[in-house]
Each structure stands twice: as structure tokens, then as C-alpha cells.
């Protein structure tokens, strides 16, 4: 009898879903559609918010330069947070320790992954402004 699915969905992503396989597939498709929608919205906002490529008169502002200096450390911390959460899900005693917080941890993991993605997009934008690429 199956009352939960622990799915290894690629790119090191492990997802736990209550219920049987059919329910997991249904929810996975909805989750993927929502994620794709969020990514498209984020990309559209990023494209709309981009400035012209940097030229001699269009350099990073002071605040943007400080942000660029620390963004790699922020990305590393965010990725470590994702790895920590994924390790929790893959632990053999996950349900004993965290079974009552599964949905909260799933939301935290999804949020952490979204944060990593946002940081990488911001880094790319700042590098474009800095280098004029």
C-alpha cells in the first residue's frame, strides 16, 4: 500500500508527496506548470527591467557595485540552504524527525530554489551593466 511518494525529479531535486502515484503525478504537473509560469513571469520582468547595455556613460551605480561584490557569497549561502533542505528530505529518518513539517519544508525548499534563481538572474544583469556585454 502506497501512502506517499519520494520522487527524485532530477537536478538533485527530491520531492515528497502524500498519497498514491496518480495523485503525485497530478500534483507534479500542476507544480511544474506553476513553476514554468513563475519563471516566465520572472524572465518577463527581468527583460522589462533591464537597462541599455553599459557604455562609457552607463556604469554601475555605487549601490549596484556593492551588491555585485557580495552576490557570489549570497548565491553560495542560498545554494547551501537548498542542499541542506534536500539532505533533510533524503535522510532515511526524515519521516520520524520531520514528518509533521513536510509541507512546510517543501515550501521552504521551493522558496530557497526560487531565491537561488533570482540571485543568478540579478548577478547576470549586474554583470551585463558592468561589462556592457
Query: What ranges do the domains of the chain cover?
Result: 4-131
CB atoms within 10 A of CB 78: 19
CATH architecture label of 4-131: Orthogonal Bundle (1.10)
Between CA 47 and CA 29 the distance in angstroms is: 27
Q: What angle do CA 113, 119, 125 make, to 5 degrees?
A: 140
- Residue-wise pLDDT for 100-132, tens only, equals 999 999 999 999 999 999 999 999 998 888 876
- Residue-wise pLDDT for 36-61, tens only, equals 777 677 666 666 555 554 444 457 88
The overall pTM is greater than 0.85? no
- Name the burial class of residue 16, with classes exposed (0-12), middle (13-18) and buried (19+) by CB atoms within 10 angstroms of its CB: buried
Amino acid at each position: 500500500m502506497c501512502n506517499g511518494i519520494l520522487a527524485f525529479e532530477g537536478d538533485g531535486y527530491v520531492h515528497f508527496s502524500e498519497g498514491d502515484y496518480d495523485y503525485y503525478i497530478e500534483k507534479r504537473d500542476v507544480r511544474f506548470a506553476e513553476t514554468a509560469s513563475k519563471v516566465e513571469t520572472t524572465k518577463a520582468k527581468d527583460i522589462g527591467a533591464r537597462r541599455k547595455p553599459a557604455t562609457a556613460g552607463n556604469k554601475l551605480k555605487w549601490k549596484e557595485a556593492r551588491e555585485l561584490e557580495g552576490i557570489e557569497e549570497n548565491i553560495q549561502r542560498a545554494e547551501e540552504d537548498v542542499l541542506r533542505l534536500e539532505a533533510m528530505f533524503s535522510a532515511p529518518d526524515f519521516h520520524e524527525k520531520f514528518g509533521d513539517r513536510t509541507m512546510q519544508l517543501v515550501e521552504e525548499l521551493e522558496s530557497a530554489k526560487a531565491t537561488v534563481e533570482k540571485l543568478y538572474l540579478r548577478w547576470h544583469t549586474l554583470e551585463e551593466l558592468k561589462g556592457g556585454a
